[in-house]
A and B are shown apart, each in its own frame.
Chain A
Amino acid sequence: MTEMVYGAVPQRDGEPVLPKWWRTVDKWTMSCILILFGIGILLGLAASPPLAEKNGFDPFHYVQRQAVFGGLALVAMLITSMLSPLVVRRLAVVGFLAAFLALVFLPLLGTDFGKGATRWYSLGFAAIQPSEFLKPVFVVVAAWMMAAAQEIGGPPGRLWSFALMVAIVLMLAMQPDFGQASLVLFGWTVMYFVAGAPMLLLVGLAVAVVLGGTFAYQNSEHVARRIDGFLSQDVDPTTQIGYATNAIREGGFFGVGVGEGQVKWSLPDAHTDFIIAVAAEEYGLVLVLVIIALYGSVVLRSLLRLMHERDPFIRLGGTGLACMFGVQAMINMGVAVRLLPAKGMTLPFVSYGGSSLIAGGIAMGMLLAFTRTRPQGEIGDLLRARRR
């Protein structure tokens, strides 16, 4: 009665976890991710039987694995999205230390599975790619550091995060894994941009990227070959790009029909890097546009929600995660249509790959945790605006 009369503040903290989560989580983004995952399984049914056949498994071996890993990834995503940003940050720091160490020891303990780049730890039943896990937790740690740097008398967090980023990029480039390295670089740059990078420095950084790219082009045969292949006008129809382009053409607007596609028999990476070509061939432009729209809505919606965010850490972390996710999808699809030079990069949630799926789940969980609705002092803003 006293509370009713004197109007005590409602005790939100006492609200049970699940209802609160359901009330505040960005349900649109989450639905998009779930649909993407479903599309991934659907395309896996089409794209992976040739590979399974080649490796002597039953036809849907990889689909089953994807379903298992995908289930784990979804659970990881849901649990992570229920955590508060503070807990996310703490766990991410711990995870970052672990993943960083794993990356450091990769040259000593890792395997390359005969693919020419040491990127994995073999666990027997599965392989773990530490760089996949490192990406999201690095974003969170870097966001924390940059946010701290915005405090008066705070630590020089931008410098620290920059040093970390350089170290990681160098290690990834040594593997070599230029795709992940460029993603890390991009994620950090985006965060730095939002955290208020001086324009002059941004221009300088752009120049540095160009120079670095030129250096990589001239000194790494791996990179040079791919870029040369991209710049040459006519597509060699026997390259991966050639097959992919042709598959998109064959598909047209409505596809050649479920299971009728041919490209999956020719492309070794049909189930990972070129899954979009399989989608385009069998289901046509319609599905491709749906996939693009799904990725676009995840990214744009998250960025929109982060615009209203007061907490610099959350804002930065969310931006980094969303942009990294969006850019990864963008590069993957851009390669398939020859807008970008060939670079092995998975399509998040759609491509096959255990590490990629679970790490993606964690990343999206953190993004969902960051974009949850929480009081942003809008009333204060309104009052202040009126007073002025």
Chain B
Amino acid sequence: MIRTPLRPLARILDARRRGENPDAIERENLRLRHEELRDHARRRAEGRLLVLGLVFLCAYSVIGARMAHVAATEPAEPRTAQARAPIVAQRADIVDRQGRILATNLETHSLYAQPPLMVDPRGAAHALAQIFPDLDEKELVEDFTGKRKFLWIKRKLSPEQKQAVHDIGEPGLLFGPREMRLYPNGRLAAHVLGGAGFGREGVHAAEVVGVAGVELEFDDMLRDPAREAAPLALSLDVSVQAAVEQVLYGGMKMMNAKGASAILMDAHSGELLSIVSLPDFDPNDRPRPPVAGRPSDSPLFNRALQGVYELGSTFKIFTVAQAMELNLVTPDTVIDTRPPFKVGGHRIGEFENHNYKDISVEEIIIKSSNRGTGKIALMVGKERQQEFLRQLGFFTPVPLEMAEAAGGRPLLPAKWTDLSAVTISYGHGLSTTPLHLAAGYAAIANGGYLVKPTLLRQPGPKYGARVISAEVAAASRQMLRKVVTEGTASFAEVPGYQVAGKTGTADKPIETGGGYYKDKVIATFAAMFPADAPRYVLVLMLDEPVETSGDKPRRSAGWTAVPVAAEVIRRAAPLLGLRPVVEPQVRAGITLSSSR
């Protein structure tokens, strides 16, 4: 072992002086330096290898722990380890206010074909055409023998159809599980429910999406997995809806109307117990939208919500109520209704050219005087009239929870002149939906509060802003009651239920413009019952009714809409749990006097 000198060069200089070769010493020095470097590198490497080893140990432990953690959890996710994921109920049910099913899901199967797997394409096509008469055998043969590798044949199969197809025994005909939307009540509340169709489609499942009505409006909510298929509760009542639909259908046929609609609304909460538009359709087999003709003639058209009509004399009560609210008139104020009454160069006439002469405000409503209401409207003034009608919601579409509600945009006069004020006071020149009218009448019925019509079940009354005072509302109700007991709506008297209401008969405007039809009307009856403390509002509208039992055809609402409405109330009121008020009868001199 050579001692390492403190100064490396010293030894070399020594050796040089002695005349020796210094190379050996230099090599030796180099070797020593090298060894030192090496030792240093080795010690560093030892440390770093230790670090590496620890890193690996930690990483493997983490992986092992994570494996244990995953293995310890239950397989809670959908069991996709199975090749076929079972289809779970994915769309929430829709129920009525008492929890009765309006829309639910049904597991069914779709039928598809994989021609490459087929044994006997022609035989299969023939057999399929036998089972499904709407399939064309020739087209099927073409599809099965052509280049196609996959084709859908039927979206939904009934179990019988599935068995029949199964019995063909063709391996190239296959079934995919499907969940379809089922409306077990058929046509009931068709417009409200709308319908559903398939969205994205796969072999093993398909999305069900709403296409109209509440199904479309609440599509995201119904499909939201976070709600765990909690049913959507509507305000409708299945039995009331069924009764109203049945009566209305009969009435529409009897009155030879081409369409009809009825709205039965809770005057205090705005809940719609029933909303009907006829003709309707079956949401299980929703028809395609029409490509020709007017959309309003399609059964898909919702007259209660989308159709805007001049609703006629039913508006008179708003004019009178506002005048009373402004203290311009009382029910007993006498108004001269003699002709001529000219506004803006137009002569205002009465129904069948009556002349009621000097009559009180109450009688104006009872007899439905156009001139009388017009004069009151001029007393109110067009600005205040506009403001009042806007408050009642007649200027904007009703914000109902249905995709179609936005379509019911009222038609307002381009310029609100004095003439507009007068005609609108008796319901001409302003087109609104029957639902607007129902909301307006609800304000009178509930004592002066606005209510927002809704299709969702409400826990209790839900009043908006006050529009008229309770006294004015009560006075208006009294007038409306007298319309039934003494006036134009005498057919509306339903024993025990004290109906109050106002008729409205409006000539239909000619669609191409220029005046009104002489023989086509919209007959409306807007009612509330029971009159002393109304709970429900009914608006019933017939489109082009004509009553032909008399010697000449009668079209006025009193002869058409009113009897139908009375029948609706007669049927629906007991279903709503209203007790008839039985008036005390005179008992032919018999006195019940057991105590005596």
One of B47-55, B130-138, B360-368, B519-527 at the interface: B47-55
The interface residues of chain A lying within 8 Å CB-to-CB of B49 are: 194, 303, 306-307, 315, 319
Min CB distance, B87 to chain A, in Å?
Answer: 14
The interface residues of chain B lying within 8 Å CB-to-CB of A310 are: 38, 42
Question: Shortest 8 CB-CB distances between A and B: which pairs?
Answer: A237-B80, A249-B75, A285-B71, A296-B60, A303-B53, A262-B81, A337-B66, A248-B70
Q: Is the CB of B80 within 8 A of A243?
A: yes
Contacting residues of chain B (5-52) with chain A, CB-CB under 8 angstroms? 30, 33-34, 37-38, 41-42, 44-46, 48-50, 52
The interface residues of chain A lying within 8 Å CB-to-CB of B52 are: 190, 193-194, 303, 319, 323
One of A34-42, A77-85, A127-135, A326-334 at the interface: A326-334
Q: Is the CB of B30 within 8 A of A152?
A: yes
* A208 contacts B by Cβ under 8 Å: no
The interface residues of chain A lying within 8 Å CB-to-CB of B46 are: 307
Min CB distance, A41 to chain B, in Å?
Answer: 22
* B59 contacts A by Cβ under 8 Å: yes
If A151-B34, A152-B33, A194-B49 touch, whether A245 touches B59 (CB-CB below 8 Å) is no
Can you give 11 A-B contacts (C-beta < 8 A)? A193-B48, A194-B49, A249-B71, A280-B71, A289-B67, A292-B64, A303-B49, A304-B53, A306-B49, A323-B52, A330-B63
Min CB distance, A183 to chain B, in Å?
Answer: 15
A339, B63: Cα distance in complex, Å: 8
User: How many residues from B make CB contacts under 8 Å with A?
Assistant: 40
A315, B44: Cα distance in complex, Å: 12
Q: Is the CB of B56 within 8 A of A288?
A: no
The interface residues of chain A lying within 8 Å CB-to-CB of B48 are: 193-194, 196
A22, B492: Cα distance in complex, Å: 112
Q: Is the CB of A262 within 8 A of B83?
A: yes
Question: A167-185, CB under 8 A of B: which get 1 and which 0?
Answer: 0000000000000000000
Min CB distance, B194 to chain A, in Å?
Answer: 31
The interface residues of chain A lying within 8 Å CB-to-CB of B75 are: 246, 249-250
A295, B57: Cα distance in complex, Å: 10
* A247 contacts B by Cβ under 8 Å: yes
If A152-B33, A307-B49 touch, whether A238 touches B71 (CB-CB below 8 Å) is no
The interface residues of chain B lying within 8 Å CB-to-CB of A289 are: 64, 67-68
Q: Is the CB of A266 within 8 A of B74?
A: no
Residue numbers of A with Cβ under 8 A of B are: 150-152, 190, 193-196, 235, 237-238, 242-243, 245-253, 262-263, 265-266, 280-281, 284-285, 288-289, 292, 295-296, 299-300, 303-304, 306-307, 310, 312, 315, 319, 323, 326, 330, 333-334, 337, 339
A323, B60: Cα distance in complex, Å: 13
Q: Is the CB of A150 within 8 A of B81?
A: no
* B591 contacts A by Cβ under 8 Å: no
* B62 contacts A by Cβ under 8 Å: yes
Min CB distance, A237 to chain B, in Å?
Answer: 4
Residue numbers of B with Cβ under 8 A of A are: 30, 33-34, 37-38, 41-42, 44-46, 48-50, 52-53, 56-57, 59-60, 62-64, 66-68, 70-83, 85
Q: Is the CB of A152 within 8 A of B60?
A: no
Min CB distance, B398 to chain A, in Å?
Answer: 40
If A248-B70, A292-B67 touch, whether A326 touches B56 (CB-CB below 8 Å) is yes
The interface residues of chain B lying within 8 Å CB-to-CB of A253 are: 71-72
A88, B75: Cα distance in complex, Å: 49
* Interface of chain A, main secondary structure: helix
The interface residues of chain A lying within 8 Å CB-to-CB of B76 are: 249
A152, B30: Cα distance in complex, Å: 8
If A247-B81, A249-B75 touch, whether A152 touches B67 (CB-CB below 8 Å) is no
Q: Which single residue of chain B is at the shortest CB-CB distance from A251?
A: B71
The interface residues of chain A lying within 8 Å CB-to-CB of B82 are: 262
Q: Which single residue of chain B is at the shortest CB-CB distance from A337?
A: B66
If A253-B71, A284-B71, A285-B67 touch, whether A330 touches B59 (CB-CB below 8 Å) is yes
A276, B85: Cα distance in complex, Å: 23
A284, B68: Cα distance in complex, Å: 10
Q: Is the CB of A266 within 8 A of B41?
A: no
Q: Is the CB of B45 within 8 A of A250?
A: no
Q: Is the CB of A237 within 8 A of B57?
A: no
The interface residues of chain B lying within 8 Å CB-to-CB of A243 are: 80-81
Q: Is the CB of A288 within 8 A of B67?
A: yes
Q: Is the CB of A307 within 8 A of B50?
A: yes
Min CB distance, A326 to chain B, in Å?
Answer: 5
The interface residues of chain A lying within 8 Å CB-to-CB of B70 are: 245, 248-249, 337
The interface residues of chain B lying within 8 Å CB-to-CB of A245 are: 70, 77
Min CB distance, B57 to chain A, in Å?
Answer: 6
Residue with the highest number of chain A CB atoms closer than 10 Å, among B66, B71, B77: B71
If A235-B77, A237-B78, A285-B71 touch, whether A296 touches B41 (CB-CB below 8 Å) is no
Q: Is the CB of A280 within 8 A of B67?
A: yes
A253, B81: Cα distance in complex, Å: 17
If A250-B81, A299-B56, A307-B50 touch, whether A315 touches B71 (CB-CB below 8 Å) is no
If A194-B48, A196-B45, A245-B70 touch, whether A150 touches B77 (CB-CB below 8 Å) is no
The interface residues of chain A lying within 8 Å CB-to-CB of B56 are: 296, 299-300, 303, 323, 326, 330
The interface residues of chain B lying within 8 Å CB-to-CB of A196 are: 41, 44-45, 48
Which of A252, A263, A304 is the one whose CB lies under 8 Å from B81?
A263
The interface residues of chain B lying within 8 Å CB-to-CB of A288 are: 64, 67, 71
Q: Is the CB of B45 within 8 A of A315?
A: yes
A237, B56: Cα distance in complex, Å: 30
Q: Which single residue of chain B is at the shortest CB-CB distance from A235?
A: B77
A70, B533: Cα distance in complex, Å: 93
The interface residues of chain B lying within 8 Å CB-to-CB of A262 are: 81-83
Q: Is the CB of B71 within 8 A of A152?
A: no
Min CB distance, B205 to chain A, in Å?
Answer: 11
A195, B38: Cα distance in complex, Å: 11
If A152-B34, A195-B45 touch, whether A333 touches B57 (CB-CB below 8 Å) is no
Q: Is the CB of A150 within 8 A of B41?
A: yes
Residue with the highest number of chain A CB atoms closer than 10 Å, among B41, B42, B70: B70
A54, B529: Cα distance in complex, Å: 74
Q: Which single residue of chain A is at the shortest CB-CB distance from B69?
A: A337
Q: Is the CB of B81 within 8 A of A334?
A: no
Q: Which single residue of chain A is at the shortest CB-CB distance from B34?
A: A152
The interface residues of chain B lying within 8 Å CB-to-CB of A237 are: 77-78, 80, 85
If A253-B71, A307-B46 touch, whether A312 touches B41 (CB-CB below 8 Å) is yes
Min CB distance, B375 to chain A, in Å?
Answer: 70
A264, B68: Cα distance in complex, Å: 21
If A195-B45, A249-B71, A300-B57 touch, whether A337 touches B38 (CB-CB below 8 Å) is no
Q: Which single residue of chain B is at the shortest CB-CB distance from A310?
A: B42
Q: Is the CB of B81 within 8 A of A246?
A: yes
Min CB distance, A130 to chain B, in Å?
Answer: 27
Min CB distance, B72 to chain A, in Å?
Answer: 7
Min CB distance, A343 to chain B, in Å?
Answer: 15
Q: Which single residue of chain B is at the shortest CB-CB distance from A248?
A: B70
Q: Is the CB of A295 within 8 A of B60?
A: yes
The interface residues of chain B lying within 8 Å CB-to-CB of A152 are: 30, 33-34, 37
Q: Is the CB of B53 within 8 A of A300?
A: yes
Residue with the highest number of chain A CB atoms closer than 10 Å, among B30, B42, B44, B72: B42
A266, B37: Cα distance in complex, Å: 57
A323, B30: Cα distance in complex, Å: 34
The interface residues of chain B lying within 8 Å CB-to-CB of A299 are: 53, 56
Min CB distance, A273 to chain B, in Å?
Answer: 15
The interface residues of chain A lying within 8 Å CB-to-CB of B78 are: 237
Q: Is the CB of B37 within 8 A of A333?
A: no
The interface residues of chain B lying within 8 Å CB-to-CB of A195 are: 41, 45
Q: Which single residue of chain A is at the shortest CB-CB distance from B47?
A: A307
